[in-house]
Amino acid sequence: MGMDQSVTFTNCPIPTWEAVSALLTAKGYPVQMRMIDGQLAFPDETPPPDWKELRIGTPQGMITIRSESDRLMFVTWGNADSEMQKAWNALTWAFAEAGKGSIQSDGENLSAAQFRDKSPLPDSINN
């Protein structure tokens, strides 16, 4: 069973993978593409604009992102340790930050800044 949280982009488009990856890299938290819509991908591959599911490699493990029109779902294992949860939060935060989205997590609706202040994230993201 997995855990999920989402980011909704009501008044703006979902940000590109390039923008999110560049933001995380600039923060010292590099990530790599692993799969696009069920197909293996090169680490630096860019998904097409109409992608439905991404698997992203982080230093702690893989996170799944599912696209649902104006919303993205971020999924990790239900038994994810604290470091894996930080990776899950990092990707969630980065998409919200890059696209000015609203994060739905634990029954709350948060901006990227509010989520960053409240949630455990990798140290490099908080610096």
Domain 2-115 of CATH type 3.30.1380: no
Of 96, 119, 74, 90, whose CA–CA distance to 30 is shortest? 90
Pairing of β 2-8 and β 32-36: unpaired
Looking at every residue in the chain, the average pLDDT score rounds to 95
Yes or no: say if 89 and 3 are a contact pair by the CB < 8 Å rule: no
Which H/E stretch holds residue 77?
strand 71-77
Yes or no: say if 106 and 95 are a contact pair by the CB < 8 Å rule: no
pTM: 0.95
Whether pLDDT at 11 is above 90: no
pLDDT in tens, 78-115: 889 999 999 999 999 999 999 999 999 888 999 999 99
Summarize the confidence of residues 11-22 as an average pLDDT: 95
Q: Where are the domains of the chain?
A: 2-115
